[in-house]
Amino acid sequence: MPLSHINEANQPAMVDVSAKAVTRRTACAEASLLFPDGVLEQLRDTESGADKELHSRKGPVHQTAILAGIMAAKKTSELIPLCHLIPLENCSISIEQEGYNQLRLRCEARASHKTGVEMEALTGVSVAALTIYDMCKALSHGIEIQQIRLVSKTGGKKDIQ
The answer to whether residue 6 sits within a structural domain is: no
The answer to whether residue 94 sits within a structural domain is: yes
Instruction: Evaluate if residue 47 carries a pLDDT over 70.
Output: no
pLDDT value of position 107: 98
pLDDT value of position 41: 86
Instruction: Evaluate if residue 88 carries a pLDDT over 60.
Output: yes
Dist CA 88 CA 121 (whole Å): 10
Q: Is-catalytic flag, 51? A: no
Range of the domain at 92: 23-153
Where does the pLDDT of residue 18 fall: very low under 50, low under 70, confident under 90, or very high at 90 and above?
A: confident
Give the pLDDT mean for 22-43. Answer: 94
Of 3-7, 11-15, 94-98, 122-126, the poorest mean pLDDT is in 3-7
In the chain, what's the furthest Cα-to-Cα distance?
Answer: 62
DSSP letter string over 23-55? EEEEEEEEEEEE--TTHHHHHB--SS--TT-BE
Count: domains in the chain: 1
The answer to whether residue 126 sits within a structural domain is: yes
- Cα–Cα nearest to 42, from 53, 32, 56: 56
| CATH code of the domain in which 122 resides | 3.30.70.640
Dist CA 48 CA 54 (whole Å): 11
The answer to whether residue 160 sits within a structural domain is: no
Tell me which of 37, 51, 134, 159 is the catalytic residue.
Answer: 134
The answer to whether residue 159 sits within a structural domain is: no
Instruction: Evaluate if residue 100 carries a pLDDT over 90.
Output: no
pLDDT value of position 48: 52
Mean pLDDT of the chain: 90
The answer to whether residue 17 sits within a structural domain is: no
Where does the pLDDT of residue 51 fall: very low under 50, low under 70, confident under 90, or very high at 90 and above?
A: low
The answer to whether residue 50 sits within a structural domain is: yes
The answer to whether residue 161 sits within a structural domain is: no
Give the pLDDT mean for 87-114. Answer: 96
Instruction: Evaluate if residue 26 carries a pLDDT over 70.
Output: yes
Residue 26's CB is within 10 A of a number of other CB atoms, namely: 20
Where does the pLDDT of residue 45 fall: very low under 50, low under 70, confident under 90, or very high at 90 and above?
A: low
